[in-house]
Amino acid sequence: MTTPTKTIPAPLESMDDNHPPLSRAAPYILVVDDEPDIRHLVQEILEDEGYEVAVAENGEAARRAHRERRPDLILLDIWMPDLDGITLLKEWSEEGLTLPVIMMSGHGTVETAVEATRLGAYDFIEKPLSLAKLLLTIEHALETDKLQRENLGLRRQTAIIDEPLGRSDVMNNLREQIRRVAQHDSWVLFNGEPGCGTNVAARYLHTLSPRAERPLIEVNVASLSQENSARELFGYESEGKVHYGLLEQANGGSLLLYDIAEMDPDTQLRLHSALAAKSFLRVGGEQPVQLHVRIIATNHGNLEERVTQGQFRKDLFFQLNVVPIEVPPLRAHREDVPELLTYFSNYYIDQQSLPYHHFSLSAQNRLRNYGWPGNTRELINLVQRLLIISAAEEITVKDVDRALGNLQSLAPATTTSNMPINTELPLRDAREQFEKQYLEQLLRSHEGNVSKVAQLAGLERTHLYRKLRTLGIDPKNI
């Protein structure tokens, strides 16, 4: 029988049976090997290193373990009596494997190593195992996987904001509240107007939490199609193959659901059942999968009103609303506007090589007193626009007024709108009337350009299209 060589690092030489308690956020590793001595020794070593470990004695057991819970990393022996590791790796690759696999073999060949790499294996380690090399390879594989996910997330962002910005009391209080909540594992619901930075606040909470080293999977609920939302969130099983959903991709970390109010009723029911049972079924699956994630949700409307109107499940609302956090609109901390102008100007100048400009004191003052209907997102777009179109180094009040255009008359901080308000209507009908007038005026001002209107209104484009259909507005006829 082949056993690991005794090249154990010093910290591992004095192992005892009292393993430290495992955090649910610890990376979860599946060890697949038909030799019991190797299997259990590797399990013991990895648990001493703080990992959560499951073992499988053959290929079929590995299939079951892989199906029951998505690992963060797999140690996979090649030669096993029932099913070889290369065949297993090929199966998982065809299912869209997105996790690192380290192959192990005592009788490997160059051809085998090349084939394993072609199928997506991270590395190939020969037996007898050097545990020092094994631990280092695992560490590097997990770090590489983390960096790949982070890079994918950064490519989806338009600006890098690590935390809610501003030195006002309002923003200091928000950051302090998030810091306190982050240390607990409760589910959190961020409420705020579109564009005010609920997504930034949610990411900030994850980075401060014990799950910070684990995945943060972000989902724009409005972009999920009703037909496929359950498959995307919960995964599915087809013809004996497992396709992991977003809940399992977030294993040990956090799942961030943007604009939760846009979730379709069937998916609301599935999510409620999963949160209540702390487990779920993949679409087409029969075995329950344990829930190992923290749920963070954001909402941009009056979710309680939608519950009252029967548009959102009451039981799901109470599940998500364990810790509600309000993210203030920009007009509630207008003293931070000069700091935000400087921050985003520097970002676009440094990161996107836009020409250097600075805002005059009078221009800053004008923007401090603007109503910001699109909140921080509108400010970011305005800064970028002014850096591109301004001819002089200093951005003046005239430049600001020209860039704001008709929006200045829509929502200034110190004036009232000229739009008539019918106080005889119920609140819901009056709000729809205002939204219809508001969006029609924006569309007219920008010649029906929906993308532009979405930016200025602080709405996701898919959400805006949905809103336009609800209000009976056809951009082509504006």
Residue pair 64/32 in contact (Cβ under 8 Å)? The answer is no
What confidence tens digit (pLDDT) does each residue in 399-425 have?
998 888 744 433 444 333 445 555 565
Domains 169-326 and 427-477 are alike in CATH topology: no
Q: Look up residue 130 and give its DSSP letter.
A: B
**Angle formed at CA 313 by CA 311 and CA 314, multiple of 5 degrees:** 115
Q: Is the pLDDT of residue 10 over 50?
A: no
pLDDT computed for residue 13 by the predictor? 29
b/e 206-234 (16+ beta carbons within 10 angstroms → b): bebbebebbbbbbbbbbebeeeebbbbbb
Report domain extents, the chain: 10-152, 169-326, 331-410, 427-477
Residue 359 is classified by DSSP as E
Q: What is the rounded CA–CA span in Å between residue 235 and residue 289?
A: 10
pLDDT of residue 158: 44
Are the CB atoms for 153 and 218 separated by under 8 Å?
Answer: yes
Which residues on neighbouring strands pair with residue 47, listed in sequence order? none
Q: Residue for token digits 């904001």?
A: 161
Question: Is 368 exposed, middle or buried, given 0-12, 13-18 or 19+ CB atoms closer than 10 A?
Answer: middle
Whole-number pLDDT of residue 437:
79
Q: For residue 262, what pLDDT is reported?
A: 85
Q: How confident is the model at residue 1 (pLDDT cuts 50, 70, 90)?
A: very low
Q: Give me the architecture of the 427-477 domain, per CATH.
A: Orthogonal Bundle (1.10)
pLDDT of residue 17: 36
Q: What stretch of H or E contains 208?
A: helix 198-208
Q: How many helices (H) and strands (E) does the chain have?
A: 20, 16
Q: Which residues contact 200 (CB under 8 A, 6 or more apart)?
A: 161, 163, 164
Query: From CA 64, how far away is CA 75, in angstroms rounded?
Result: 15
Least confident of 14-18, 101-105, 256-260, 405-409: 14-18
**346 CB contacts (<8 Å, ≥6 apart)?**
none
Query: Quick one: average pLDDT of 175-199?
Result: 93
Instruction: Note the pLDDT of residue 96.
Output: 72
Environment class of residue 80 by beta-carbon count within 10 Å: exposed (0-12), middle (13-18) or buried (19+)?
Answer: buried
| 84/115 Cα distance (integer angstroms) | 13
Instruction: Looking at the structure, give the CATH architecture of the domain made up of residues 331-410.
Output: Orthogonal Bundle (1.10)
* Domain made up of 169-326: CATH architecture: 3-Layer(aba) Sandwich (3.40)
pTM over 0.85: no
d(CA 93, CA 363): 56
Q: Which CATH superfamily is domain 10-152 in?
A: Response regulator (3.40.50.2300)
pLDDT of 365 higher than 60:
yes
Q: Which of the 8 DSSP states describes residue 329?
A: P
pLDDT tens column, 140-174: 988 888 777 766 554 444 446 789 999 999 999 99
| Per-residue confidence (pLDDT) for residue 324, from 0 to 100 | 94
pLDDT exceeding 90 applies to what percent of the chain? 37
Q: Is residue 14 classed exposed, middle or buried when 0-12, 13-18 and 19+ CB atoms within 10 A define those classes?
A: exposed
